[in-house]
Structure 1
Amino acid sequence: MKIAQFFRTALVMTSLVALTSVKAQTFEERTLRIGHPVNTDHPISMGVKKFTEIVALKTGGKIIVKEFPSLVLGNEMQQISALAGGIQEAFAPGTAPVAGVVKDFGLLDLPFLVSNSAQADALLDGPFGEALLAKLPEKGLIGLAFWENGFRHVTNSKRPINRIEDLDGLKIRVQQNPVFIETFKALKTNPVPMSFAELFGALESKALDAQENPYLITRSSRLYEVQKHLSATSHAYGVIVFLVSKKFWDKLTPDEQKILRAAALEARDYERQVSRLQAKTAIEDLTNKGMIFNEVKPAETERMRVATQGVVDKFMQAYDPATVKLLRSELVRVKNLK
């Protein structure tokens, strides 16, 4: 009886393997080139590698994913344009360049929208995130998932930021983005919009006092060499949008589309986990490099949020009212998540 059961089990397993092999043969050989803005030691790159592994496994190696880090395929807008034109297959940028194509993505740059990772995940993976992604196809893009770039924090060469008053007068580099400029004006700093490529030199020469970025960017760009204080301001949450060319997407079979979407979501969960683990180790690494780290008390974070509420209200008026209404309701829903 046991021998017969063994052979029945073996037959079932053999059939499954055969079916899997046959199904793999139905996939067309394709190459998917994905660009992103960071180095290969960053969690975004690790997420791309995980995505690559999943796609190779589920398609029997028929769909090959090739990674192009550090904007080697062109700047953000060039790569997004290449996707829309069907010249490039995939790209994983931050929200700012995506907002240049679909304006409502700029809502994700607003200050103090969420205060922890659980809130961020619930907001992005829920109806609001879905509504944003639904706006992409008419621009020639498909959004598969939201990945993480991490909370942004202020570093500077003058003093720790324990209270909102400690920000007064700091000359701080910000992204070339109106939301960030107005946010830091509201916090009474002197914001200087500048490309990231110019940042290190400006801090080294003391032309600037401060900058704001996720911990991992501060570490990988060696900003600890020109900054003394690292303060956990968590003033904005950085999002990565996993984009695919609609022209490429429309050539895929439903099974292929299903596999790529599932792979992007599975890789998202992995990338977020790696990002959060690395953020914790980055603080230790940065302090070992000589930076002085300080937490910001919740009461002071709330004062910063209140100080920037006018910026939020102002910019929300510029976006689609239905999307803004949905965002406000979703923020209420996720507010108490820890």
Structure 2
Amino acid sequence: MKIKTILLAAGLAFGLQGIAPQAQAADIQTRLIRFGYGLNQDSNQGRAAQVFADEVAKLSDGKMQIRAIGAAALGSDIQMQQALIGGAQEMMVGSTATLVGITPEMAMWDTPFLFNSGEEADKILDGRAGQMLIEKLNDKGLVGLVYWENGFRNLTNSQRPVTRVEDFDGLKLRVMQNNIFLDTFQRLGANAVPLPFSELFTALETKTVDGQENPYNTILSSKFYEVQKYLSVTNHVYSPWIVLASKQWWDTLSADERDVLLKAAVASRDFERKDTRQEAEKALAQLKAEGMQVNEVSPEEVERMRETIKPVNEQIKQNVGPAIWQAVQNQLKAIRQGTDRPRG
């Protein structure tokens, strides 16, 4: 009897030892998520990516871990978008402008002089119109979570201040790989050259292009002031970023995991917008301190630019369709008249 008891106890102990490592592995197993972005780690993009990572870890009790990879180490926005569509990468944040080739409706956010303020943009992007565009991504292999802010875009170059339409003549300007941006600057008289952001600094440094257009934060964090002398405040386009996930990958997640990512994305969005706007003010002051010559473009000249590129807006309206175009215009009108109310 004693021998049987000893053997039984030994067998139980052995069995428990065999099971325990597997149970422990299941308990501590984490889901690793690669989150790519284009700017440097110390940029507004990088800081918000860290907030997103921290929130995901907190909300999932450490079971989901974001590996934020910046400086375009996973490729340009277009390359990362393709990686998401193919299921080779899980998440990213990038420009809405580079999505136009996949989802033409995203050209809505490229409309020159669309928004008068960041607050207007928030209401539109977070409202029904913004959601309508996000939904268009689903059948393209992408899932849109939230919009971040890149900011109002302004012009820099190494040749001369741009104070009027005629000053664009002959300037070789890098623009995003997007037909709306190409058409806009060609109509203004510039020689528009599409280049990935990852190649931009070198192109400016080697004089392959004379200038570029980006928000203050990006101009500062990318150190374009080292190779650009003039900054002209045009506020010609409000440029959003969008947090994306691979639909192939997203469809493998549980409802709880998706909820964690959505809540963390909203927290990162709110942080990022506030951070970006505060940094924009500081960035402009710092760019002046670094020696950039800054000039304001007068309202009269801005209006001339609007008139010059009017055919671009008409083309955007056709590309995005009347439903989306009108939804944005109607809400903007309501916002400006003070009759826009959040949905209950």
Which of the five TM-score ranges fits, normalised by the shorter chain? Answer: 0.7 to 0.9
Report which stretch shifted further, 126-135 or 97-106: 97-106
The structural deviation recorded for 1:306 is: 2.5
Task: Report the counterpart of residue 83 of structure 1 in structure 2.
Answer: 84
Q: Distance in 2 between matches of 1:288 and 1:196?
A: 25
Q: Which moved more, 1:295-304 or 1:201-210?
A: 201-210
Aligned pairs for 1:94-105 within 5 A = 94-105=95-106
| Worse overlay, 166-175 or 239-248 | 166-175
Deviations 1:216-267 (A, max 9, x none): 2222332222222111101111211101122332232322222211110111
CA contact (8 A) 1:77 1:97 kept: yes
Q: Structure 1-normalised TM-score?
A: 0.84
Q: For residue 211 of structure 2, what is the aligned residue in structure 1?
A: 210
Instruction: Note closer, same or farther for the CA distance 1:57–1:304 as it changes in structure 2 (3 Å cut).
Output: same
1:54·1:263 contact (CA, 8 Å) conserved in 2? yes
Aligned position for 2:150: 149
Match of 1:69 in 2: 70
CA RMSD of aligned residues (A): 2.4
Residue 331 of structure 1: aligned partner: 332
Question: Residue 252 of structure 1 aligns with which residue?
Answer: 253
1:193 positional shift: 3.1
Structure 1's unaligned 5+ residue stretches are: 1-24
1:140 is aligned to 141
Evaluate the alpha carbon distance shift between residue 40 and residue 331 of structure 1 in structure 2; reply closer, same or farther with a 3 A threshold: same
The total of aligned residue pairs comes to 313
Structure 1 position 190, deviation (Å) = 2.9
**Structure 1 residues 243 and 203, CA gap change in structure 2 (3 angstroms):** closer
AA paired with 1:247? Answer: Q
2:241 aligned counterpart, secondary structure? strand
Partners of 1:201 and 1:29 lie apart in 2 by: 39
Cα deviation, residue 206, structure 1: 4.6
Q: Which residue of 2 aligns with 1:159?
A: 160
Question: Once the two structures are aligned, what percentage of the paired residues are identical?
Answer: 42
Looking at structure 2, the residues matched to 108 and 234 of structure 1 have their Cα atoms a distance apart, in angstroms, of 14
Distance 1:29 1:209, change over 3 A: closer
Task: Indicate if the aligned counterparts of 2:76 and 2:196 stay in contact, CA closer than 8 A.
Answer: no
Distance (Å, rounded) in 2 between the aligned partners of 1:205 and 1:257: 45
**In structure 2, what is the equivalent of residue 177 of structure 1?**
178
List runs of 5+ in structure 2 lacking aligned partners. 1-25, 339-344
One-letter amino acid of the structure 2 residue matched with residue 269 of structure 1: D
Aligned to 2:3: none
Residue matched to 1:122: 123
Where in structure 2 are the equivalents of 1:1-338 lying within 5 Å? 29-206=30-207, 208-335=209-336
Quote how far apart the aligned CAs of 1:102 are: 1.5
CA distance in 2: counterparts of 1:173 and 1:210, whole angstroms: 6
Partners of 2:177 and 2:80 in 1: CA distance: 18
TM-score, length of structure 2 as denominator length: 0.83
Contact 1:44/1:148 (8 A) holds in 2: no
Assess, with a 3 A threshold, how the Cα gap between structure 1 residues 128 and 26 changes in structure 2: closer, same or farther. Answer: farther
The structural deviation recorded for 1:79 is 2.2
Q: State the AA in 2 paired with 1:72.
A: A
Residue of structure 2 in register with 1:5 after alignment: none
Distance 1:313 1:182 in 2: 12
Q: Answer with 36-45 or 310-319: which moved more.
A: 310-319
- Cα deviation code 1:163-202 (max 9, x no counterpart): 3343344332222321112111222233233444554454
Quick one: structure 1 residues 61 and 231, their matched pair in 2 at CA, closer, same or farther if it must change by over 3 Å?
Answer: same
Please tell me the residue identity of whatever aligns with 1:104.
E
* Alpha-carbon distance, 1:92 to partner: 0.8
Give 1:96 deviation, angstroms.
Answer: 2.7
SS in 2 for 1:93: strand
Q: Deviations over 1:22-69 (max 9, x none)?
A: xxx999731221111111011111111111111111111111111111
8 Å CA contact 2:98, 2:176 repeated in 1: no
- Say which is worse superposed, 206-215 or 137-146, in terms of deviation: 206-215
Tell me, in whole angstroms, the C-alpha distance in 2 between the residues paired with 1:110 and 1:181.
Answer: 12
Preserved CA contact (<8 Å) 2:76 2:197: no
Q: Evaluate the alpha carbon distance shift between residue 27 and residue 315 of structure 1 in structure 2; reply closer, same or farther with a 3 A threshold.
A: farther
CA distance in 1, matches of 2:230, 2:311: 28
The 3 A distance-change label for structure 1 pair 327 and 195 is: same
Please give the per-residue CA displacement for 1:296-335, whole angstroms capped at 9, x wherever unaligned: 2333323322322221102321333322232332333344
Displacement of 1:204? 4.2
Change (3 A) 1:322 1:148: same
> Per the alignment, do residues 111 and 27 of structure 1 end up closer, same or farther by CA in structure 2, a change over 3 Å counting?
farther
Q: Secondary structure at the match of 2:238?
A: strand
- Bigger drift between 48-57 and 167-176 goes to 167-176
Call closer, same or farther: CA 1:201–1:73 in 2, change over 3 Å. closer
Structure 1 residue 82, shift from structure 2 partner: 2.6
Q: Quick check: 1:287–1:293 contact (8 Å CA) kept in 2?
A: yes
- Aligned-partner SS, 1:219: helix
